[in-house]
Amino acid sequence: MQQRMSERIERMYLGDIWFAAVMIAAVWLAVGFVFFEMFNFLKDPVFRIVEIVAALFLLVFNSSSMTAMIRHYKEDKEWIYERDIINLDQARADAASSRQAA
Which residues span the domain enclosing 69? 2-101
Alpha-carbon distances, residue 34 vs 17, 25, 46 (angstroms): 26, 14, 17
Kindly report, residue by residue over 38-82, the tens digit of the pLDDT: 998 999 999 999 999 999 999 999 999 999 999 999 999 989 899
Count of the separate structural domains present in the chain: 1
With vertex at residue 74, the alpha carbon angle to CA 70 and CA 80, rounded to the nearest 5 degrees, is: 95
With vertex at residue 1, the alpha carbon angle to CA 86 and CA 81, rounded to the nearest 5 degrees, is: 35
Q: What's residue 1's pLDDT? A: 61
The pTM assigned to this predicted structure is 0.78
Q: What's residue 99's pLDDT? A: 83
For residue 47, the number of C-alpha atoms closer than 13 Å in the C-beta half-sphere is 8
Query: CA-CA distance, 45 to 51, in Å (whole number)?
Result: 10
- How high is the mean pLDDT of the chain? 92
Q: What's residue 96's pLDDT? A: 86
Q: What's residue 100's pLDDT? A: 84
